[in-house]
Structure 1
C-alpha cells in the first residue's frame, strides 16, 4: 500500500464549465477566431503532448532534458537548500525530478496544473518516490493568480518557481511580463524562478517541430475541438478542419491554427458559430527568444537575471531568476 501521508490534494481552483464556455464564446465570436491553448490539456491532450515530446522532430524536450541532467548540480546550487519548489503547469511531473534529485533537503514540492486527473496521478507518484518531501497538488489555471497551500513557506528558506518546456512562449510578450510579475508576488522576497526558454533558430527546424510526420501535433491541435465537443456539447466535425503551423519571423513565434475546409456552422452549448472555407481558429502561439531578449523581459517584470544554461547547439536555454 502506498503511503500518501506527505501528500495534500485539498487545494483546488480549477476552471469551471461556465468559464470554459465563456472563453470559447469569446474566442469563436470574434472577427478573428481563437481558442485559449490551455484547453488543449484535458487528459487526452496531455497524453498527446507527451507523445509529441517523444517525436524525432520535436527537439525542445530532449534538448531541455539533457540540459537539466547536465546542469543539475549547478541548478541545485543556484536554488540552495531547504526550498519550496512550485512547478507551473506540472503535467506528468517528469522534468522536475532532475531538480528534486539534485536539491539539498527540499522542503516541499507544489504541482500546479489545470488537468486534475493527470495532476493527481503525477503528484501521488512524486509523493511515493520522495517520501521526505511534502507534496501538494494545486488544480488551478496557473495563468491566473492562485493561492499556495498554507504550510508552504513555513519551514523553507525560499520559494522557487519552476516553469519548464518553454511554456512561457505561449504568452504574448506583454502577457509573459504580466505572468512573471504575478510570479514575483507569489514567490516573494528572496525567491527565485527556473524557466525553460526555446531560442530563436532557423525556420526549417522550428516548423518541423510543429508538423511531425506522424501527425501527433495535428491530433493534439484537433483535440481542442474534441474537448469542446465532450465538455460543452459541441458538434465540431474534426474531419472538416486541418492543422496549420508555421513560423512568423516578424513576430518571432510559431503559430498554430485550425483551418475550416468548407462553409459550415458549429453549435456549442446552443451557441452557433459560422465558418467560411479557409477561415482559421488561432489555437496557439509559441514565442521564441534570444538570451538577452528574455533576460530583459524578466528584468522588466521584477526579476534579477542570474544564471543561464544552454546546450552546445544553442537550441534551448534554462534561466535562473532571482527576486
Structure 2
C-alpha cells in the first residue's frame, strides 16, 4: 500500500474508531513513516548523548534498487509479515519453509501482532506502535501471496487486467526491470499493482497458479479490520466484540477506492486529504498533513535538521527530544521489530535474520 492508504485511510479509520484528531494524526503519521524511515545508526548530540535507531524502509521503495531491498530485517517485519499458510501456531503449511513466509491477509500471525500492540499500549510509544502495526497489518492484504525474500514463489507472468486481458502496459514497464534474478523479491515482478486501491488484475505465480486480485474489495476489508482493531485498542481489550466501519462511511471509502485512479500514490493521497478537509466523513472536517523530512517533519522537530539527506553531524541536544514524535516512533519501531523477530515468528517455527 502507498501513502493514500497508510496515511489518509488510516487517519479516517482511526477517527471512525473514536480517536480524536491529535491521536489519529499520530497514528496515521507513524503508519506512513514506516515507508520513510530509511536511516539507521547512531544520532550524536553536542552534550555527549546518543540515540540509536533502526530503519523500516530503504532509500527508495523502488524494485530496481535490488541490492538494498534484499534486507530481510526490513521486508519481513515491516512489509511482508509471514502468514504461516494462514494456520495457527503449532501447525505447518504443506511444502517447504518458504510456504511459512508467504504473506496472508489477517493471518493468525497478524492477529497476534495486533493483540500484542493492544496489550502494550501503556508504553510511552504506544500510539506510535499502533501506527506501525496498522501499516504492517494493512499490508497483509496488499502483499498477500508474496514473501519478503528473494524466491521464485514471487515470480509473475501472464499479467492480466480486470477483464482477464493481457496487461500490456505493465509488461512494457517491466521490460526495463529485469536484472538477473532480482525480480522475485517481494512483489517486484508486478511492481506496484498490489498497492493501488482501484486495480483489479491477475497473474500466474512462480508455481503456475493463476491468481486473481480485486484490490478495491481487499482494501475495503483491510480498512474495516483496521477500524475494528483501533476500537479494540481504545477499549484496552484485544478480544472485545466491536463493529467495523459505520455503513455510510464504509460506502464512501469503497467509492473513493474505485474512483480515485491516479497511478501516483501522492496524487491519490491529495484527494483523500481534500475529502477529509471537506468533511465528507461522519467525524466532520479535519486538516491533516504529512511531511516525511525537512521543515515541519517529525525529524525536524526532534533534531532541528531540515536536511533531506543525512550527514555525519552533531545535533544540538534539547531535553524535549526524549518526548518527541520522532524519538517515540523509533522506540516503537525497535519494540515492534524485536517482538516480531524474537518472540512472535519463533512461535510459528519461523526464524529470520
TM-score, normalization by structure 1: 0.28
Greater helix proportion: 2
Kindly indicate which of the two structures has a greater share of residues assigned to strand: 1
TM-score (norm. length: structure 2)? 0.27
